[in-house]
Homo-oligomer: A and B are copies of this chain.
Amino acid sequence: MQKISVAIIGWGNVGRGCKRAIEECSDLMLAGVVRRSTSLNKEEPDLENTRVVDDISKLGKVDVALLCIPSREVPERVKEYQSLGICTVDSFDEHDRIVALKKDCDINAKAKRVVSIVGAGWDPGTDSAVRAIMRIVSITGRTTTTFGGEEGGRSMGHTAAVKSIAGVKNAVSLTLANGRGKHKRRVYVELLPGYDEDKVTHAIKNDPYFKMDPTEVLVVRNINKFNTLHHEANIERTGMQVNQIYDVEGVNPEFTANVMVCCVRACITAKHADQYGAYTFIERPLVDYLPGATLDEKLADY
């Protein structure tokens, strides 16, 4: 069976996680990594034996591009790759804009006869799928999602948002549980020389990613001692006569990268069925994300 050819766009934590995840999947192969031209000559042991280019056209045939880039750049880049005839997967994480993103990318996907899976990280993404299942098991009830626990977990979207604010040299944004289903944020930032602590703090607190939640900003000299890749979520649904709990904890980029990489299969399955379009994670059948050459193999754990 011919392997699916995958490109990684962006070389941050998620991009690195995607490379590792692709290596775990015998049906996928890494065509290469696309980085900004300014990063091309950096030597990194993880990129030995990997093609690194500044333009995807230099990689030859690519079936699916994994957009491991900040959420805010996703909408434009999805359509750019679609227009090249390449399927895309992203982990766009702004819950209230995902349906609009899907609809926008859906039109272009159909025109270009490709498939995009949008908002396919863990939340939104697989956590959304768990919430859907919980609603099916218990039709009437209440679902809450609590992130980060008491220790806090690294939010990649929020961390990327802080890093894009003027004056920020480095940052990590933690999400902490603040009661069931409620959250607060704690942001550690290293400033660039000459920037004012109060102004940067104000900019962070008023960023769309933060302004809905209680947010504490702590300026530190060295981010490293506050940095973490850990995250966790707890989803609970209490129904009429049924209770359900889902807990996930571990290294955040690993969750996200694994989900994105499994979406590659769903893109190709949909494309082969001429079901061109843009889909959220729960709009494609779960079976399409699983490995296996035959339906029997894919359903072996059913």
Contact = CB atoms under 8 A, between A and B. Distances in A.
Contacts of A98: 299, 302
Interface string A93-106: 00100110000000
Contacts of A299: 98-99, 280, 282
Interface string A255-298: 10011011000000000000000001011111101100001100
Contact of A137 (B258, B283, B284): B258
- In this complex, the interface size class of chain A, counting residues with CB under 8 Å from chain B, is 35 or more
A247 B236 CA distance: 10
A296 B99 contact: yes
A126 to B, nearest CB: 5
Copies in the complex: 2
Which of A119, A244, A251 gathers the greatest number of chain B CB atoms within 10 Å? A244
B130 A130 contact: yes
A55 interface: no
A138 B143 CA distance: 23
Contacts of A247: 243-246
Interface of A: 21, 24-25, 95, 98-99, 119, 122, 124, 126, 128-133, 135-140, 143, 239-251, 254-255, 258-259, 261-262, 280, 282-287, 289-290, 295-296, 299, 301-302
